[in-house]
Structure 1
Amino acid sequence: MATGALLTLLTLTTPAEVAAADATAVHLAGSGECTYPAKPIKGTPWSLQRVLLDQLWQDTKGKDAQGRPVRVAVIDTGVDVRNPQLAGAVDVKSGSDLLTGPKDTLRGPTVDPVGHGTKVAGIIAARPTPSSGFVGLAPESVIIPIRQNDEKGTGSTQTLAVAVKQAVEAGARVINISQDTADRLKPDSDLERAVQYALAQDVVVVASAGNDGADGTSKPTYPAAYPGVLAVGASDRNNERAYFSQPGDFIGVAAPGVDMVSTVPGGGQCADHGTSFSAPYVAGVAALIRAKHPDWKQNQVVAQIEQTAERAVNGRDRYVGWGVVDPVRALSEDERPLDQVTLPKGPVHGAAAPRPAPLPVGESAQDRQVRLATYVLGGTAVLVAAVTGASMVARERNRRRGAART
């Protein structure tokens, strides 16, 4: 197997296959969700409604106690800084462009005709704007843009390995990789060595699990399945696995990955689906932890995210890992660092998880809670009325019997 194996940009769109010289076929996907630039989305996305941002940001928004922003590398299709929410969030000078092409082709780390990398960066570090309720989870962190793939499928595992090393050299404390390959790479491949190098340099590596999970079959994807990488699956509004999210024993946590609003080239926002957008949600949380606890090691940051995730069973499963990430708990239940997840005494491991009621299209988690509460109150009222009516009937029957005896 060649080291330049199949790489997929993880959107829900079916990728187009192209031939690549000196490498296996490379698969890429453009989102196709909107045109750029786009109009601002005024409301607050559901993925942010589930977080109390004031509580999340009570200690940091992405800067440490000395005011230094945490640096997060986005290895992707570039990050377009023409979007006002990203204009001050990207360190262009530290970025790089690993793609090659005709001399008349636009190049540079801020070139992103696909829009994928711009969306990923926004979920991590988009600055607030009065025109939209969307904002990044770590809006004072800084993005290092590394353009390594494009709509033509130019990237490979070889260029991804180079990108990981460049991210470390550029001072990244967190690396987000929203790409994968399902091809089995040879042991000690360039990509595996690059990932292990980043981990050895105390860098948190977050990677998407993949979008080929509709059939429920477990299979490893890379670099997500490499030891030490925080592999992220996608969850829906019910905190259950999104149907497309790739399951496997390597999954660390899940995060929102359906109807994910984020920044697009030129300005504005669009919504998209995929584990591509679950990974930066977790990378944003990792950036906040690194800002609040700069002395914590990369494995301790990962353990903190896994430890505080919302889970229905007392253990780990192949669909959502240790559970769905809880940003506020990750930043508040942090009295001491953990080297690995510790499970409290509780339900038997593997016990069936409760299934929430179906979530109608367009209904937020809060709407669902109100709807269920209404059902409960309504049911209680019906029950009270039935009991009261039965009591009245019984009293009337007894009165009549007494009158008949006199």
Structure 2
Amino acid sequence: MTYRTKAALLAAAALAGLTAVSPSAYADEASAGPRIDGSGECTFPMKKQIAGIPWSLQRVLLDELWQDTKGKGVRVAVIDTGVDDVNPQLKPAVDASAGKDFLKPEKDAVDKAASDRGKTDGTVDEVGHGTKVAGIIAARPRKGTGFVGLAPEATIIPIRQNDEKNSGKSDTMADAIDHAIAKGAHVINISQDTTQALDAQSSLGQAVARAVAKEIVVVASAGNDGMDGKLKNTYPAAFPGVLAVASSDRNNERAAFSQAGEFVGVAAPGVDVVSTVPGGGQCVDNGTSFSAPYVAGLAALLRAKHPKWEAHEIIAQIEQTAERSINGRDNFVGWGVVDPVRALNESEDEKPPQSPAPDPDPPKPPAPEPAHLALSETPQERDERYATYALGIGGVLVAVVAGTATVVRDSRRSRRLQ
């Protein structure tokens, strides 16, 4: 068994939520860091490509979406398990010179795949998680597959901060965010979460605040512990200024695993999601980890189209144009399921929204006027009725007189002829 296959199998448990540390333990362990969320049910490299267009892209008119931009010039930092730059759909997208690996390379390399961990540019992904995330954002078109990133001309900054053992900590994530800021990121995607109670003064909270202050759109997954339906904050998604993303299914309903909370901003496809894997090809996975980059790709398109918009305006535009299940937001899908085409098209001639708001109530129809019920005849109505009667009787009398005169005349003529 190769090291890469072994790592993928180990990742399957971690990414399915069967982490070495139980979710509840994270709140008690001060040094615990964000976890990677996702099922990890595919191996790699995959020689066979998925030919069809994934359902998450079928619901988007790509020609209309890309009529103004495909994200060129926008830099998206993927803080994750690394981003493979061998996959043909990602090789031209990844800026390895700007990447960084914040985990120490292991010394027990047993083959070439493992020895690649000595690279420090963030382009080694032994889990496949970060490569999937990056593909959803910026995978280039390729013959033989209908899969493509939402912003296929954006640039990916690969930052390796976690692995299948969930070695990443909140402090190293804070360092990763600062690195993304230094390398000119316009959007930062973080598909990791922790339920550890972090406040704004924590190292991670301060790093997020620095990114927001630099007008960087920070997108984070809400987490996959939502089966019980209970509200719970996860971080960094719940920090102020972060666009927290839940998962939706093919029916635009919340995926059962998606974490609910007052911090949720929007939802995006997170069930049966197709994306790239290390080495080549694609596979299918589930999780809010793959909903977040769908929104990050949309943010990259908005940033390219409106480079002068502030980060909170881009977030508000995404939230305001989402397809809602109620008129407002709820704790399960936020302001609704994102609608990329509407978000781009409705920004043509309007000023960006400063914050999302419920749709205005439709105008109420005028109240019907009560019908007039006459209980008795007024004097005027009585006079009008009598006048009508008089005219009618007069007309009858005239007709009778005229008829009688005609009969008498005809009778006289008849006698003369005799």
TM-score range, shorter chain: 0.7 to 0.9
| Partner of residue 69, structure 2 | 60
Conserved? CA contact 1:41–1:268, under 8 Å: yes
Q: 1:154: Cα distance to partner? A: 1.4
Distance 2:51 2:58 in 1: 13
Tell me: CA distance 1:232–1:32, structure 2 relative to 1, closer, same or farther (3 Å).
Answer: closer
Conserved? CA contact 1:14–1:29, under 8 Å: no
Conserved? CA contact 2:30–2:196, under 8 Å: no
| Partner of residue 263, structure 1 | 276
Equivalent runs, 1:352-371 vs 2, <5 Å: none
Task: Provide the secondary structure at the position in 2 that maps to 1:278.
Answer: helix
| 1:149 aligns to 2:162 (yes or no) | yes
Tell me: CA distance 1:28–1:131, structure 2 relative to 1, closer, same or farther (3 Å).
Answer: same
In proportion to residue count, which structure has more helix?
2
Conserved? CA contact 1:44–1:134, under 8 Å: yes
Which of 302, 310, 332 is 1:297 aligned to? 310
Conserved? CA contact 2:231–2:259, under 8 Å: yes
TM-score, normalised via structure 1 length: 0.79
Distance 1:268 1:25 in 2: 31
| Partner of residue 165, structure 1 | 178
| 1:79 aligns to 2:87 (yes or no) | no
Q: 1:340: Cα distance to partner? A: 0.7
82-91 vs 179-188, greater mean Cα deviation: 179-188
Task: Provide the secondary structure at the position in 1 that maps to 2:219.
Answer: strand
CA deviations 1:343-391 (Å, max 9, x no partner) are 33228xxxxxxxxxxxxxxxxxxxxxxxxxxxxxxxxxxxxxxxxxxxx
Distance 2:196 2:86 in 1: 36
| Partner of residue 387, structure 1 | none
Conserved? CA contact 1:79–1:112, under 8 Å: yes
- Give the counterpart letter for 2:104 in structure 1: T
Conserved? CA contact 2:38–2:289, under 8 Å: no
Distance 2:287 2:158 in 1: 20
Distance 1:179 1:54 in 2: 32
Distance 1:302 1:187 in 2: 20
| Percent pairwise identity | 64
Tell me: CA distance 1:244–1:45, structure 2 relative to 1, closer, same or farther (3 Å).
Answer: same
Report how many residues are paired: 335
Task: Provide the secondary structure at the position in 2 that maps to 1:216.
Answer: coil
Which of 40, 51, 61 is 2:49 aligned to? 40
Which of 103, 112, 129 is 1:99 aligned to? 103
Conserved? CA contact 1:11–1:211, under 8 Å: no
Q: 1:151: Cα distance to partner? A: 1.1
CA deviations 1:140-174 (Å, max 9, x no partner) are 00000000001122100000000001101100000
Q: Which of the pair has more CA radius of gyration?
A: 2
Tell me: CA distance 1:22–1:282, structure 2 relative to 1, closer, same or farther (3 Å).
Answer: closer
- Give the counterpart letter for 2:67 in structure 1: Q
Q: 1:233: Cα distance to partner? A: 0.1
Distance 1:26 1:294 in 2: 31
Distance 1:115 1:272 in 2: 11
Tell me: CA distance 1:339–1:10, structure 2 relative to 1, closer, same or farther (3 Å).
Answer: farther
| 1:139 aligns to 2:148 (yes or no) | no
| Partner of residue 324, structure 1 | 337
Q: 1:305: Cα distance to partner? A: 0.1
- Give the counterpart letter for 1:59 in structure 2: D
| 1:275 aligns to 2:288 (yes or no) | yes
Conserved? CA contact 2:90–2:140, under 8 Å: yes
Unmatched 5+ residue regions in structure 2?
Answer: 1-12, 110-114, 363-418
CA deviations 1:78-119 (Å, max 9, x no partner) are 001110000100000000000013345513311101000000
Distance 1:329 1:270 in 2: 28
Q: 1:25: Cα distance to partner? A: 7.3
Task: Provide the secondary structure at the position in 2 that maps to 1:182.
Answer: coil
Distance 1:10 1:152 in 2: 7
Task: Provide the secondary structure at the position in 1 that maps to 2:21.
Answer: strand
Distance 1:89 1:47 in 2: 21
- Give the counterpart letter for 2:45 in structure 1: P
| Partner of residue 123, structure 2 | 110
- Give the counterpart letter for 2:319 in structure 1: E
Which of 15, 18, 25 is 1:14 aligned to? 18
Distance 1:208 1:30 in 2: 11
- Give the counterpart letter for 1:244 in structure 2: F
Tell me: CA distance 1:222–1:199, structure 2 relative to 1, closer, same or farther (3 Å).
Answer: same
Tell me: CA distance 1:215–1:175, structure 2 relative to 1, closer, same or farther (3 Å).
Answer: same
Distance 2:30 2:235 in 1: 20
Distance 1:302 1:25 in 2: 26
Task: Provide the secondary structure at the position in 1 that maps to 2:163.
Answer: coil
Q: CA RMSD in A?
A: 2.2
Unmatched 5+ residue regions in structure 1?
Answer: 1-8, 64-68, 348-406
| Partner of residue 230, structure 2 | 217
Tell me: CA distance 1:318–1:331, structure 2 relative to 1, closer, same or farther (3 Å).
Answer: same
Tell me: CA distance 1:27–1:137, structure 2 relative to 1, closer, same or farther (3 Å).
Answer: closer
Conserved? CA contact 2:151–2:301, under 8 Å: yes
CA deviations 1:180-218 (Å, max 9, x no partner) are 110102550000000000000010000000000011000
Equivalent runs, 1:227-246 vs 2, <5 Å: 227-246=240-259
CA deviations 1:315-366 (Å, max 9, x no partner) are 110000000000000000012211111333228xxxxxxxxxxxxxxxxxxx
